[in-house]
Amino acid sequence: MIFLDAAATTPVRREVLEAMWPYLTGDFGNPSSHHSLGESAATALAGARTATAKSLNCRPAEVTFTSGGTEADNLAVKGIALARQAADQALNRVVISAVEHPAVEESARYLERFHGFAVDTVPVDGYGQVTPAALAAVLRRETALVSVMYANNEVGTVQPIRELAALCREKGIPFHTDAVQAAGWLPLDTKILGVDAMSISGHKLGAPKGNGALFVRSRTRVEPLLHGGGQERGRRSGTENVAGAVALATALALVRPGQEHVEALRDDFIREVLAGVPGAHLTGHPAERLPSVASFCFPGTSGESVLLELERQGVVCSSGSACAAGSDAASPVLLAMGIPSDVAQTAVRFSFDASVTAAELHEAAAAVRHAVDSVQTLGIR
C-alpha cells in the first residue's frame, strides 16, 4: 500500500513511542499526587512543557496541553472571545477565514448561537489565500478575535500569517492560528509569526491521536472550557495526559521544517499528474503550499469513485469533499475558492510524510491516470 493520506494522520514514530512508554507503564503516576510516582509524572509533564515551548519559541507557561487540535481550536476561539467579551461587552464579533477547519468554524458558530457574537468571514482568493487587505476590510472596533489557519488541510495553501498577525496587533486584536497542518512542515516560532494563540495536534506529527497543545501569549486572557481541578493553571481541568504530552514534545523536537526534497518530489508528482490526466487541475496555491500536499480536481469524475479505484490499485488518499449523510457534498473550502460545486465534488487530496519516495509517487501518479481513466470510461459519478 502507498499511504498518501498523512494530512489525516500519521503512524506513531518509534522514538515517540519509546519516550512515552515509561509514563504508560512503570511511571504511571498522576502529576497531582504528592508521592514519588506523582512527582515523577509531574517532572515529565514539566519537561514536556519546556520542550514544547522550546519548539514554539515561547515560555512553558504559555503552553496548555489539550486532547488535540479540535480542543485547542475550541479553547482559543471560545476561550479568548469569551474572556474579551467578559471584560468589555462591546467586543462581540469574531473573524474567521472562509476556509477554516470545522473546529474553528463551529466554535465561532457556537459563539454566535449562544453568546450573542456576530461572525465575520474573511473571503479567500482563488488559491484559498486570505490577503491582508481582505482581512483589514472586515476588522471592526467590536472584533474580539481573529482566527486564520496557517495552512489548509484540504489544499495545502499557506496563509501570510505574519502579515495578518501584524495587522491585528496594530489594532490590538488577538490573533489565533490553527497550525495543525503546518506543524512539522513550516516554522512554528511564535515570536517570529507574531501570533497570540496557536493550535497544534500530535497525531499529524508522529505522536498518537488524542493530544495537542494551545500556545497562548502571556497576558492574553482565556476563559476555560473545562472546569474542575484546575490543572494546566486553571485553563484546562482534568488529569493531564502525561504520556501524550511527552509524545507531542518528542514528535515536535524530531521534525525538521523546510524539507526541500519533499517539496521537489511533490512538484514532480503534480507535474506528472497534470501531464497524464487530461482536464486535471491543481487546487490551492501553486507555490505557497505545504511541501506535503498535492490536491486536484478531476472534472468528469467523482472524487469518491477515484478514491475507491485508487485504493483498489494500492494507493490510499482522501477526497477534498466532506461526506455529509452518506452523500457527496462539495467541500466548503473549494466552494469558497470559487470552484463550481460539480467540479469541487471531483476533488482528491494526496498528502505524504517526509519518508515518501520518488518511486512511490511515480507509481501513484500512474495509478491516478488509470483510476481517472476507468472512472471516466465507466461514467461513474
Q: Is 224 in the site for ligand PLP (CB under 6 A)?
A: no
- Least Å distance between CB 255 and ligand PLP? 16
Nearest to ligand PLP of 152, 302 (CB atom): 152
- CA 2 vs CA 122, 261, 270: distances in Å: 37, 18, 16
CA distance 27 to 21: 9
Nearest to 151 by CA among 333, 5, 288, 321: 288
Question: Which residue, judged by CB position, is nearest to ligand PLP in the bound state?
Answer: 69
Q: Choose the binding region for ligand PLP from 63-71, 115-123, 293-301, 342-350 (rule: CB under 6 A).
A: 63-71
- Least Å distance between CB 114 and ligand PLP? 21
The tally of CA atoms less than 13 A away on the side-chain side of residue 2 is 23
Q: What are the residue numbers of the active site?
A: 323
Q: Is 52 in the site for ligand PLP (CB under 6 A)?
A: no
Grid cell locating 38? 506523582
Nearest to ligand PLP of 68, 128 (CB atom): 68
Check residue 23 and report its DSSP letter.
Answer: G
Grid cell locating 237? 481541568
Grid cell locating 113? 448561537
- Least Å distance between CB 202 and ligand PLP? 7
Grid cell locating 98? 472562509
Q: Choose the binding region for ligand PLP from 12-20, 178-186, 242-250, 265-273 (rule: CB under 6 A).
A: 178-186
Considering only residues 342 through 371, tell me which ones interact with ligand PLP, judged by CB under 6 A: none
- Least Å distance between CB 70 and ligand PLP? 3
Nearest to ligand PLP of 85, 321 (CB atom): 321
Question: Is there a contact between 266 and 162 (Cβ–Cβ < 8 Å)?
Answer: no
Q: Is 153 in the site for ligand PLP (CB under 6 A)?
A: yes
- Least Å distance between CB 172 and ligand PLP? 26
Q: Is 184 in the site for ligand PLP (CB under 6 A)?
A: no
User: Of all helices (H) and strands (E), which one includes residue 293?
Assistant: strand 293-297
Helix-helix angle 303-312:358-378, to 10 degrees: 120
Q: Which of 93, 101, 236, 266 binds ligand PLP (CB under 6 A)?
A: 101
Nearest to ligand PLP of 103, 297 (CB atom): 103
Question: Is there a contact between 248 and 55 (Cβ–Cβ < 8 Å)?
Answer: no
Size of the site for ligand PLP (CB under 6 A): 14
- Least Å distance between CB 63 and ligand PLP? 16
Grid cell locating 166? 501584524
Edge-first strand listing for the sheet containing 347-351 = 281-282, 293-297, 347-351, 318-319
Q: Which of 212, 284, 291, 303 binds ligand PLP (CB under 6 A)?
A: 212
Q: Which of 40, 85, 201, 292 binds ligand PLP (CB under 6 A)?
A: 201
Q: Which of 62, 105, 178, 196 binds ligand PLP (CB under 6 A)?
A: 178
The rounded Cα 106 to chain-centroid distance in angstroms is 15
Q: Is 103 in the site for ligand PLP (CB under 6 A)?
A: yes
Q: Environment class of residue 8 by beta-carbon count within 10 Å: exposed (0-12), middle (13-18) or buried (19+)?
A: middle
Considering only residues 65 through 84, tell me which ones interact with ligand PLP, judged by CB under 6 A: 68-70, 73
CA distance 357 to 239: 41
Q: Is 321 in the site for ligand PLP (CB under 6 A)?
A: no
Question: Is there a contact between 101 and 178 (Cβ–Cβ < 8 Å)?
Answer: yes
The rounded Cα 20 to chain-centroid distance in angstroms is 23
Q: Choose the binding region for ligand PLP from 48-56, 87-95, 173-181, 327-335 (rule: CB under 6 A).
A: 173-181
Grid cell locating 335? 466552494
The rounded Cα 45 to chain-centroid distance in angstroms is 24
Q: Is 149 in the site for ligand PLP (CB under 6 A)?
A: yes
Nearest to ligand PLP of 249, 372 (CB atom): 249
Q: What residues make contact with ligand PLP under the rule CB under 6 A?
A: 68-70, 73, 101, 103, 149, 153, 178, 180-181, 201, 203, 212
